[in-house]
Structure 1
Amino acid sequence: MTAEHTAAQGFSTRAIHAGQDPEAVTGAVVVPIYQTSTYAQDEVGVTRAGYDYSRAGNPTRTALETALASVEGGTAAVAFASGMAAGDTALRSMLKPGDHVIIPNDAYGGTFRLIDKICVPWGIEYTTVPLGDLEAVSAALRPTTKLIWVETPSNPLLGIADIAALAGLAHGAGAKLLVDNTFATPYLQLPLALGADVVLHSTTKYVGGHSDVIGGALVTSDDSLAEDFAFHAKSMGGIAGPFDAWLTLRGLKTLAVRMDRHCDNTEAIVELLLSHRGVVEVFYPGLPSNPGHEVAVRQMRRFGGMVSFRVAGGAAAAAQVCKSTELFTLAESLGGVESLIELPGVMTHASVAGSMLEVPDDLIRLSVGIEDVADLVADLRTALDAV
């Protein structure tokens, strides 16, 4: 199925079919797991399908990369062993010692750790900025700024950044814009269409969708960046294995229907949180009171399956809520079919403790799953009522 043919088709059609024609030999409808490290050559340097060694390329991974590029509206994608491997490749490909990067002041803890602990000793400089404040972003730009790194919605405060406006600022300064689209997914938001140069995913989350695989991806329509990403992936080796690629591809096929259910359930959970006496603040871009709501309305289809909130009683009460739920499992990560609850300050964002990115110690983050919503509401209400 050609790119020209799939470009006019709907999201789910492309997620299910792009790069996934029936297998040539047997007609298998599902892309096989090509669990091989190497490939026979008919003669020296002559391969049968362009594959010689699976670190450089694997048909299962190719199918996933083709599908991801299609649903993001890009021309190329590279699949990695984790979201962090994708992020590391992006930074190594797009920056060199002496360069400067702007990152969100509420970035994911792993992203901050990678930049602060790994990239800074390598010679990279960074500035944390509230990306919803375009004047602050403009003021932070330097002659050496080569990249603006965006999360929207951000993790864990669900902040919203104006992708099109930030793309304009970045390109005007000779820099690139990378958008971590993990929370929104390509079903809800298309950063490349809004001017971003690169989209990053932890495909572990919503794209995989079943909490059974770790993965990451970079997607772009810039041929030079695509070549750099592929070269770095081959050279550093942090690529997605065939079984992981197969699991991620299977998850992608149902992304649209799952995201609609995630969004429906989250809206009901937000209603509960807004009405409960024990909740003092709710972070969710679908609320008109959210500072980024108008931008979210413009650039997102819906507002996603994540919500964070603070409770009366402080950190101890928040920890008690997390311990008291039954359907919401106390665990890190997000985006699976099951609902998860966590305290970011001591779990996913422990690496930013004591930094300018530190999150409130009474902040609870929910990844709302696709269970029956009445059961989720009852479970969370019972936990909130107990503190």
Structure 2
Amino acid sequence: MPQHHPRDLAEGDPFGPDTLPYGVFTTPDAPDRPRVGVRYGAHVLDAAAAAAAHGSAYADLLAAPTLNPLMAAGRPAWQAVRAEVRGWLDEPYFHPLEEVTLHLPFEVADYVDFYASEHHAANVGRIFRPGGEALTPNWKHLPIGYHGRAGTVVVTGTDVVRPQGQRKAPGDDLPTFGPSLRLDIEAEVGFVVGTPAPDNTPVPLSDFREHVFGVCLVNDWSSRDLQSWEYVPLGPFLGKSFATSVSAWITPLDAFDASRTAPPARTYPLLPYLDDSADEPGGIDLRIEVTINGETVSRPPFSAMYWTAAQQLAHMTVNGASLRTGDFYASGTVSGPEPDQLGCLLELTRGKGPFLADGDEVTLTAWAPGANGARIGLGEVTGRITPARTAPPGA
């Protein structure tokens, strides 16, 4: 049993008693025994050990090697466990964060990526379609998204290998094959589904809290040259599917109660299943910071997102698609209206670059205002670009 105990938290620490995000960790003495931990300041509470010592009814869920059993247990269990965790913060079940290994906290079932920032979509539209309409006709009527690749969702700290594929410059007659030359970031916010829903049972806006377990930061790495050649007519594929980095910590949705904010005014009346005018404020006032090699390049505001996570979940299931424990969906690039609030290099450089070089390290951090001046933190997401591993076929 660990004997460490966290010191008093520094003022403003975003991982205090109002945050308490969940992750999965191992220790050097038990590298083959992943279990659930809760971050508190610079320490990890061994929730599995504390639950076992106290005879908690949820001990088996917290001893699991992923968060999926806890997530599947449903919101009443989530609330009960969170209350128990608060009672364990004065007890000696802690490990210093630097002494543990953090793992991908949940098993990803399906992955969907949205395109929910009007500022991002308009900026990209102006870059890709100069002289045309910045937004497509459907953009303000439904949350646009695509089905991603669950198998390449990786935990923070995992190196990102430069992808390879077909590229075709505008002046070239034919495509060539090789490493991406326009590798980009996408600063996003992700939502992790806990409670499943059966087939042909759309999730209404009012049931958002019953299904979404928590929130995390996401970097949905993008190859702009692979993407621009392949995306007509079916959209993102190899330009997106090679890596999506997520935080090791999932912050419970309930931690953001004091951070809820109204989304921007909608241009058109929404269809009933997306109309949130009578619901609680659907936005979250998250302040994101993007650094590349230690230099801050952007501070995107999540409060500026046109479509909310509840609307995305409602749209994702309205056609009868099932909802499974471990389903994961991301907001799409978060961008604000100001030049220092853009969530990708494509926007920051107006499509001209430079883009990411081998060896570049990108880190996303974020926090939201909590009650009584507290800060609610999201675990960071870091990834370092490494060179493409193989030569082109036939080389």
The TM-score, its normalising length taken from structure 2, stands at 0.26
More strand by proportion, 1 or 2?
A: 2
State the structure with bigger RCO (CA 8 A, min sep 6), 1 or 2. 2
